[in-house]
Copies of this chain bind each other. A is one copy, B any other.
């Protein structure tokens, strides 16, 4: 855990008695697997509004019990984690509020934290500790079969406790995430939403956008785009394959920060556009040299491997027959 408070010292870990997972998709299922691996909860109850997801979760075995409804799911749980799109938080908060056990921690894994506080706070009784969280981890896959225990290993989990949060509850949730393999960082919800707008939300938006632009061209066929995607486009399609429900909700719930960052991105892009039009190679070269240094810092910080493209399976020659 990193924090500015020098008096903070995490206690030795006390597992939760009963973890309730609301939403059993990629993150919910990974939470189940990782909690089991760590022994971080004695019991895991799951609930999902899609019945087949719940059945699949039981089959795979990352929950002990499938609850028939939200009320039953949260009853007796000392840790409740919402792992659904942010758009469902209001209805879920309303449904679970009256049934939460005294002193329970309610958290989430949403990518926007201001809205988690805004939407959930009115529904929760005073005896509940609302401690929003955002594990910066994921893949472009969805559903209960997409999860795995190591998803959070070495990743950041950002906690955004509201002012005046209970330090013991915060310590317990911090210890939980550390047991799951993550490194915890604490910041305000507002700052989180600004940081993630530039490191995650805008990259997703422009990846979605360019893949859409390419698909709509008349002069270049879609099959040509797919064939020659190795030139750079391919990396964007990976990002642009992320869950549509989740990302719609992210953009709508982090509107201000996203529009602010998008404005800056567009301004900067206009400068490049002008430089290309004017044949101003120095402006281009200057930017391209600066960005290369940032890549080096990310590799040095251990956030990615230096190896170029080696992680990827080379395309099968046999597939060429399709073209």
Contacts and interface: CB of A to CB of B under 8 A. Distances in A.
Interface of A: 2, 87, 111, 136-141, 146, 150, 153-156, 158, 183, 185, 194-196, 198-217, 219-220, 222, 224-242, 244-245, 247-249, 251-252, 255, 258-259, 261-262, 264-266, 268-269, 272-273, 276-277, 279, 281, 284-285, 287-292, 294-298, 300-305, 307-320, 322-323
Please state the number of chain copies in the assembly.
2
B277 A212 contact: no
A230 B137 contact: yes
A304 B232 CA distance: 12
Given A198-B225, A209-B272, 16 more contacts: A139-B308, A141-B308, A150-B314, A154-B317, A194-B219, A199-B225, A203-B232, A238-B295, A238-B304, A240-B291, A240-B295, A242-B292, A262-B276, A266-B269, A302-B316, A311-B311
Contact of A231 (B203, B217, B235, B259): B203
A235 B238 contact: yes
B268 A156 contact: no
Contact of A205 (B205, B272, B298): B272
Given A206-B210, A309-B139, A247 B304 contact: no
8 contacts: A136-B228, A138-B231, A153-B314, A196-B228, A211-B294, A238-B295, A240-B294, A301-B322
A266 B264 CA distance: 13
B200 A231 contact: yes
A195 B228 contact: yes
Nearest to A228: B199
B304 A234 contact: yes
Given A264-B217, A294-B240, A232 B302 contact: no
